[in-house]
Structure 1
Amino acid sequence: MSTVTHTLATPIQAHGEEVKELTLRRPTVQECRAIKVLPYNIGGEGYPVVDLEAAAKYVAVCACVPTSSVNQLDLSDLNTLAWTVVGFFMPQGSNQSEG
C-alpha cells in the first residue's frame, strides 16, 4: 500500500481551499529521519501504540498539508489517519489493532 485516501468526517482548510479527503502516501526514509521518531511505540503486550505527536507530523508530510490543517481534523479523522500512517511501517500481512 503506497497511498491511502480517507474521506474526512469534517472538511478542513488547506492551502486556502476546503479539503474533503486526504490522500496519504508512504513516507520516505529521508522524511522519517527528518521527523526523527516513528509514529508508534510498542505497548506492554507487544502491540503498536500510536505516538500522536509523531503521527500528526507524518500526516502533514504524507498528505502534503500544513500542520495548521492537521490541527483542524476531527478526532475520528485524526485517529484513522494516525493508524493509517502506523500501517505504512508494519510488515505486509501483519494485523494491527486500532484504538
Structure 2
Amino acid sequence: MSQVKPYKLAAPIQAHDQEVLEVTLRRPTVAEVRAIKALPYKIDKNEDVSLDMEAAAKYIAICAGIPSPSVNQLDLSDLNNLAWEISGFFMTAASAKPEASAG
C-alpha cells in the first residue's frame, strides 16, 4: 500500500492561512498511534466496523499536516472519506521489504 494518498476536497478549507483544495494523507507512525491512544475505528461484538470520529479527526490533522481547527472546516463527505482512508492504513501492511539480492 502506498505510504501517501492525495485527496481532492469537495469543498476548500483554510489551513496555514491558505485555501486548501487537496490534502495528502501519509501513513501514521507507531509513535503517533501511541500518542493518540486510539484506533480510528471500532469493532463491536458482532465484528461490525465503525469509525471513531474523534480519533480519526486527530489522525487527519497529523497525517494531512493541517491544524485541528482546519479539520473542523471539512465538508462532511470529506471528513467521512478521509476517516476511512486513514482507517485503511491500519488494515493493510506497509509496502513489503525488498528481498536481498543474491550476489
Taking structure 2 as the reference length, the TM-score comes to: 0.85
Pairs within 5 Å for 1:3-22: 3-22=4-23
Distance 2:44 2:50 in 1: 6
Distance 2:64 2:49 in 1: 22
- RMSD (Å) for aligned C-alpha atoms: 1.1
Q: 1:72 to 1:32 in 2, by over 3 A?
A: same
Moved over 4 A (4+): none
Distance 2:46 2:8 in 1: 31
Pairs within 5 Å for 1:9-88: 9-88=10-89
1:49-97 Cα distance to aligned partner (Å, 9 max, x none): 11000000000000010000000000000000000000000035xxxxx
Larger Rg: 2
Distance 1:91 1:34 in 2: 21
Alpha-carbon offset, residue 36 of structure 1: 0.7
Alpha-carbon offset, residue 43 of structure 1: 3.0
Structure 1: tracts of 5 or more residues without a match: 93-99
Structure 2: tracts of 5 or more residues without a match: 94-103
Distance 1:24 1:6 in 2: 7
Identity of aligned pairs, percent?
A: 60
